Amino acid sequence: MADVIKTATRDAYGKALVELGQTDDKLIVLDADLAAATKTGIFKKANPDRFVDCGIAEANMIGVAAGLASAGFTVFASSFAMFAAGRAFEQIRNSLGYPHINVKIGATHAGISVGEDGASHQCCEDIGLMRTIPGMTILNPADDIEARLAVFAAAKATGPVYMRFGRLAVPRVFDDSYRFEIGKGVYLNRGADVTIIATGLLVERAIAAVELLKAQGISAALINMATIKPIDRDIIMDAAKTTGCIVTAEEHNIIGGLGSAVAEVTAECCPVPVLRVGVQDVFGRSGPALELLEKFGLNAENIAAKAKAAIALKK
């Protein structure tokens, strides 16, 4: 059996920036004193004259990014998700969102898989925060292949984009034939009994859940939802019509993230049972990343259990 390729999406982010810099001489990358961790240091090494370390001043970094983008530069601003989405929320809202400025935010170290850094750094609220900003695009790739494509798609998009990357190395889900499009969910498996809609790190675990269910005679569809906003309403409605119940899976608070976005669509257009796998409205804690994922139920077994519970709720 071939070795499973595992790469952190933050690594793919750094490498993709270098690729972009080779074809876009107006690309500028900003960081808030975390270049080694966010992997923007890879770009800094290749293009030191187009990299700016803004120091531990995330709010100011967003203001600098807005100014550079207004002057016609392609700007990527990076920090940990907790600081990018949390500490700089006002500046993102007022300096990027309100005037619809073309800045791309690369937020790394999202979710509880940050591990030993603990609850203060484990941002499970960032998608919810960014979803409230009108015109904000939110991308949460599942693996390094999708992360690279998401960076290139973000660079071409108009307006602010929030990209969510992880610290933990994760198995590869896609291959080089994969085509990414902002705003589009993708079926990874077709099924008749229940649909699982997963994003980010939980996609690989949802794939395992589909296999667990198959062994029990349950046919589960699986959708990869890398774009949280704008959410793919058509594929959600198709899932509701086809299977009659949905389970969402995300490394984020169940409030405000993918689960909320899917539930909003179904409530408005196609009411079906929707159960959510995610962090259950609690703070994280310090510990090894893989152990934390198990402790908080972000695993294949819990996704499969929720799928069976959702099936039981169908009328």
Give the pLDDT confidence of 19-64 residue by residue, as tens digits: 999 999 999 999 999 999 999 999 999 999 999 999 999 999 999 9
Task: Please state, rounded to an integer, the average pLDDT across all residues of the chain.
Answer: 96
**How far apart are the C-alpha atoms of 154 and 122, rounded to whole Å?**
24
- Predicted local confidence at residue 3, as pLDDT: 63
Q: Hunting for tokens 């937020």 — which residue is that?
A: 107
Which whole-number Å values give the CA distances from 254 to 136, 171, 248, in the listed order?
Answer: 20, 24, 9
Catalytic one of 58, 125, 250, 251: 58
Q: What is the pLDDT of residues 127-165, one digit of tens each?
A: 999 999 999 999 999 999 999 999 999 999 999 999 999
Residue 315: pLDDT band (50, 70, 90) is confident
Q: Record the pTM.
A: 0.96
Structure tokens at 199: 């994003």
Q: Hunting for tokens 């969910």 — which residue is that?
A: 185
Residue 2 scores a pLDDT above 70? no
Q: What is the pLDDT of residues 206-235, one digit of tens each?
A: 999 999 999 999 999 999 999 999 999 999
Q: Given this chain, do its domains 6-171 and 186-313 carry the same CATH topology?
A: yes
**How far apart are the C-alpha atoms of 47 and 52, rounded to whole Å?**
10
Q: What is the pLDDT of residues 56-91, one digit of tens each?
A: 999 999 999 999 999 999 999 999 999 999 999 999
- Predicted local confidence at residue 135, as pLDDT: 97
Q: Residue 287, by phi and psi: left (phi above 0), alpha (psi -120 to 50) or beta? A: left
The residues spanned by each domain of the chain are: 6-171, 186-313
Instruction: Specify the CATH superfamily of domain 6-171.
Output: Thiamin diphosphate (ThDP)-binding fold, Pyr/PP domains (3.40.50.970)
Structure tokens at 105: 């935010």
The reply to whether 251 belongs to the active site is no
Residue 20: its H or E element: helix 9-23
**How far apart are the C-alpha atoms of 312 and 315, rounded to whole Å?**
8
- What is the dotted CATH code of the domain comprising 186-313? 3.40.50.920
Beta bridge partners of 302: none
- Predicted local confidence at residue 1, as pLDDT: 33
**How far apart are the C-alpha atoms of 115 and 248, rounded to whole Å?**
23
Between 315 and 192, residue with greater pLDDT: 192
Q: What is the pLDDT of residues 276-295, one digit of tens each?
A: 999 999 999 999 999 999 99
